[in-house]
């Protein structure tokens, strides 16, 4: 199976462990990732704040490349996913306004969760689990951008998505129910409105702990960064300890597959996951 791959800027920088774990998972599942040639920034969380036209032209350029490649398109970053989905809809409406040449929407866009949560892949995932993550209790945190607004994301259930839950169960995790799986963490306000991020992310940590989770599992570089890097500040502000590792879904999938390089990813986390994983006999 071959798919086009748009890593976006974050996965080549702050979220390199996300990129590496996506690639590791796909190697195990015999999925060939064909990185889009000459891809460029999609504008992510900033362009649409300043220029409506730029917010479409930046991702539209990448969708034109994906169209020429003619494969399904895997987009792990939630912000990139939303911008590319938005551009895809604009191009289908009036391609001539944004790009040179025709556009048929040949490259169906998939986020990580919905891509792997297909019946045929779920079965292959289960068959490749060498180290079930039994006893590891976590909550699935989707955040905002991969789900809302559903008219852009095409989410089947924007308030209660289940693909990540399904994948976590497939690798043996104890998935705890909670009602905060799509609440906002503060997103791109992490530098401009740090107090807002601490409040919203703190509410998520609080709710996860109340649900009996030992970790949060996410699919978004921005969510992972806010919950991971701000956790010590939130603990100091609220006067309590959470010590909740924030995993990318694909990191845990690769760990369950027996990926030998996964130990190197934990060093990139601010909240060290190694003690928790070691205590569960997973390292």
Asked if residue 212 has pLDDT above 80, the reply is: yes
The model's pTM = 0.96
Q: What is the predicted pLDDT for the residue at 192?
A: 63
Architecture of the CATH domain 2-113: Up-down Bundle (1.20)
Per-residue pLDDT tens over the stretch 132-162: 999 999 999 999 999 999 999 999 999 999 9
Q: Could you give the dihedral angle defined by the CA atoms of residues 276, 277, 278 and 283, in that order, rounded to the nearest 10 degrees? A: -160
Going by C-alpha positions, the residue among 48, 71, 222, 46 that lies closest to residue 63 is 71
Q: What is the mean pLDDT of the chain?
A: 95
Q: Which residue has the higher pLDDT, 263 or 271?
A: 271
Asked if residue 250 has pLDDT above 90, the reply is: yes
Compute CA 164 distance to the chain's CA centroid, rounded to the nearest angstrom.
10
Average pLDDT for 55-59: 95
Could you confirm whether domain 132-279 is CATH 3.40.50.11810? Answer: yes
Environment class of 72 (CB within 10 Å of its CB; exposed 0-12, middle 13-18, buried 19+): middle
Residue ranges covered by each domain of the chain: 2-113, 132-279
Alpha carbons 72 and 65: distance in angstroms, whole number = 12
Average pLDDT for 162-166: 98
Angle at 122 between CA 208 and CA 223, to 5 degrees: 30
Per-residue pLDDT tens over the stretch 187-203: 877 666 788 999 999 99
Environment class of 283 (CB within 10 Å of its CB; exposed 0-12, middle 13-18, buried 19+): middle
Instruction: Centre a 10 Å sphere on the Cβ of residue 261 and count the other Cβ atoms it contains.
Output: 11
């Amino acid at each position: 199976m071959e798919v086009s791959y748009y890593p976006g800027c974050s996965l080549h920088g702050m979220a390199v462990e996300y990129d590496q774990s996506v690639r590791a998972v796909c190697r195990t599942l015999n999925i060939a990732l064909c990185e889009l040639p000459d891809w460029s920034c999609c504008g992510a969380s900033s362009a649409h704040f300043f220029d409506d036209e730029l917010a479409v032209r930046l991702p539209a350029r990448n969708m034109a490349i994906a169209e020429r490649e003619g494969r399904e398109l895997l987009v792990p970053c939630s912000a990139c996913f939303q911008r590319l989905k938005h551009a895809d809809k604009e191009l289908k409406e009036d391609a001539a306004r944004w790009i040179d040449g025709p556009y048929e929407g040949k490259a169906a866009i998939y986020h990580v969760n919905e891509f792997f949560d297909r019946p045929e892949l779920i079965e292959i995932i289960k068959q490749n689990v060498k180290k079930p993550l039994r006893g590891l209790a976590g909550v699935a945190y989707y955040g905002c951008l991969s789900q809302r607004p559903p008219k852009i994301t095409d989410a089947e259930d924007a308030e209660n998505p289940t693909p990540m839950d399904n994948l976590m169960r497939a690798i043996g995790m104890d998935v705890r129910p909670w009602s905060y799986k799509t609440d906002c963490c503060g997103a791109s306000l992490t530098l401009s409105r740090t107090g807002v991020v601490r409040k919203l992310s703190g509410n998520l940590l609080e709710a996860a702990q109340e649900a009996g989770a030992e970790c949060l599992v996410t699919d978004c570089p921005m969510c992972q960064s806010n919950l991971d890097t701000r956790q010590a500040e939130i603990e100091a502000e609220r006067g309590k300890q959470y010590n909740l590792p924030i995993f990318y879904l694909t990191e845990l999938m690769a760990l369950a597959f027996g990926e030998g390089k996964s130990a190197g990813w934990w060093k990139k986390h601010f909240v060290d996951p190694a003690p928790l994983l070691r205590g569960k006999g997973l390292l």
